[in-house]
Structure 1
Amino acid sequence: MWMSDIHSLGGYTFAAGLFALGLGAWQVFLALVAGIIIVFFLMNFSGYAGQKTGVPYPVLARVSFGTFGANLPALLRALVAIAWYGIQTWLASRAVIVIALKIWPDLQGLTENNFLGESTLGWLAFLLMWALQLLLLRNGMETIRKFQDWAGPAVWAVMGLLVVYILINAGWNISLDLPGGKAEWGVTHAFFAAVALTVTYFSTLMLNFCDFSRFA
């Protein structure tokens, strides 16, 4: 669960985006720690309810919203999932484009046009990622579980290699003293905004955690 939520293109993009708020490396690190501590306590509240009742979120929501009213948060959760699916697919297509251009430089010509905000290569990469995920989903949840069994460790292995690569290129010297850019509303505002964004990023896990803790 943590693997798929944190080690994703969305997670990397989010973390990198915190620097755009005008924060330095230490400030981003502290904002992430503060946000994750808040998430820890909120997830325990949700998880405790799931553990005690043994029911998933859509059923647990009936306590607050009623049997019919619980359809509303369930529907909202589904809409967010659809949007997030599109975001992740688009971000993954960016990686496909980079790899494709690295292997086949002649494809550069397919990036020079524009249709609905995307180039031909962009659409091809997006549809490729969409089709691969659809193929996986069509085979059912058991196939997804088996895929995650090897994909999860593979992500860790690749991330480990990437860390070593970065350290080598940085001369084994990673500094947290990197200055931030200009914070439009001040550093304090930017810091608390980063904390709030961290909590928001993990809101899906907080909402769904009882789906997992009910098996504890």
Structure 2
Amino acid sequence: MEDKLEGSHHVDHSLGDRLTNADLAPSTDRSWGAFSIFAMQSCTVHSLGTYTFASALFFLGLVGWQVFLAILVGISIVFFLMNKTGYAGTDTRVTYPVFARISFGVFGANLPALIRAIVAIAWYGIQTWLASVAVVVLLVSTWPSLGEYTKNSFLGLSTLGWISFLGLWLFQLIVIRRGMDTIKKFQDFAGPAIWVVMAVMAIWLFFQAGGKFSLDVTDHRVYGWDAVRAFAIGVCMVLSYS
């Protein structure tokens, strides 16, 4: 009997080693306060990907205030659901891949975890590419001679495009490799900085427009039930994007 118990204990211990590691263990870092969460959300929401997506909503035939309202409704729903789904994790410090075991089983939880990882990798590439395009525009505007390196193309990017893309990719990798504390410090700086830059740009655009702007500008505005349908599609797009 003792031999059987020892053998059973050995199996359980071996299985436990396969089911946990430093990344899956409950987090011991409780230093992320309200400001850090705010800064993180600022970095997440105020991005080229978000602005590109928001501008696409105008193609639905909505005007400025309708697009703004669709985004507001969509992110409010996301905010409510994220708080509901994230409560357990923040309260117990258990990570998502571990919580997923409740619904998918111990080994089945690898599926949603991997799907989430694949989406994150794709989104990482998209955001890095969009940022690299902005860097290329900034570099060419500052040093016009660099425009010569934007005329060729390899796998969809020019020489300057590849340099900008790989440079940003490497910079982000260095930050991530230094750990969550470095990410936190970087976001604590970048979050408020984004708001400052956005305010400066808004003021600059306001004066460039001579103090005149309109929220009713669109190429093909829709009305009535078509507007309601377009608005509902806009809200659903915000939900899927978020």
Query: TM-score category by the smaller chain?
Result: 0.7 to 0.9
Tell me what 1:117 maps to: 156
Relative contact order (C-alpha < 8 Å, sep 6+): which is higher? 1
Give the percent of matched residue pairs that are identical in Structure 1 and Structure 2.
Answer: 56
**Residues 178-197 of structure 1: matches in 2 within 5 Å?**
178-181=217-220, 186-197=226-237
1:69 paired residue number: 108
Q: Number of matched residues?
A: 201
Q: Deviations for 1:156-198, whole angstroms, at most 9, x for unmatched residues? A: 1111111111111122333222234367xx5444322211111
Contact 1:23 1:180 in 2 (8 A): no
Q: Distance in 2 between matches of 1:200 and 1:12?
A: 15
Report Cα offsets for 1:76-121 as digits up to 9, x if no partner: 1111110011001000001110111011101111111111111111
Q: Max radius of gyration: which structure?
A: 2
Deviations 1:1-22 (A, max 9, x none): 3112111111111111211233
Find the partner of 1:23 among 29, 50, 62: 62
| Aligned residue type for 1:108 | G
Unpaired stretches in structure 2, ≥5 consecutive residues: 1-39
Of residues 38, 43, 52, the one that matches 2:82 is: 43
TM-score (normalised: structure 1): 0.85
* Segment drifting more, 70-79 vs 41-50: 41-50
Give the Cα–Cα distance (whole angstroms) in 2 for the partners of residues 190 and 50 of structure 1: 36
Amino acid at match of 1:123: W
Instruction: Please list every run of 5 or more consecutive structure 1 residues that lacks an aligned counterpart in the other structure.
Output: 203-216
SS at the partner of 2:105?
helix
Matched ranges for 1:38-187 at <5 A: 38-51=77-90, 53-181=92-220, 186-187=226-227
CA distance in 2, matches of 1:29, 1:110: 38
Match of 2:238 in 1: 198
**Which is further off, 20-29 or 118-127?**
20-29
Q: How far did residue 54 of structure 1 move?
A: 4.1
Distance change in 2, residues 1:146/1:53 (3 Å): closer
After TM superposition, the score normalised by the length of structure 2 is 0.76
Higher mean C-alpha deviation, range 36-45 or range 114-123: 36-45
Amino acid of the structure 2 residue aligned with 1:11: T
Q: CA deviation at 1:143?
A: 1.5
Q: Which amino acid aligns with 1:198?
A: V
